[in-house]
Amino acid sequence: MKTIKRMFEHQMWADRRLVDAVRQSGGGSQELLRLFRHVEIAEQVWITRLNGRSTAHLQLWADDADLDSIEALLASNEQQYRTYLAELTEEQLDADLTYANQSGVEFRTPIRDILTHVALHGQYHRGQINRMLREAGGEPRPLDYIVFAREWDL
């Protein structure tokens, strides 16, 4: 449980740092914002499922992304994951969650695997966003877990 909670602390730290980097670069391209929105919507999809609600109304990809709405979604996700993780027990981690994906196909997956996926999915896309920042002349942020761990322990 401690490792999963720490992975989510890293995720939240990295998301906030990336928002700052995009804002300082001038707001990012539409492609960058579309990808960043996808990261935050995917996190919303999973916390919604974990809370037993349907995600059919959530669109994983959209072209109308803007940094302010991404930041608001990030804050909402952070609060929801903190609440969820605070109430989750070690025993519940191995329980299966039955849910439908965005196409309506039903799956059954252990909560531990879902939470691990959420943390790793965002890491992959944050690397892509950092690359886009660099290509546009912006300054990418170091988001590696070890950087987080060093700062966290200060």
CA-to-CA separations, 42 to 81, 130, 147, in angstroms, rounded: 13, 18, 24
Q: Binding site annotation covers 57?
A: no
Q: Binding site annotation covers 121?
A: yes
Our CA angle for 134, 138, 140, nearest 5°, is 60
Residues 6+ apart with CB under 8 A from 28: 22, 36, 67, 129, 132, 133, 136, 138
Q: Binding site annotation covers 125?
A: yes
CB count, 10 Å around CB of 28? 25
> Which residues sit in the known binding site for a divalent metal cation?
38, 121, 125
> Which residues sit in the known binding site?
38, 121, 125
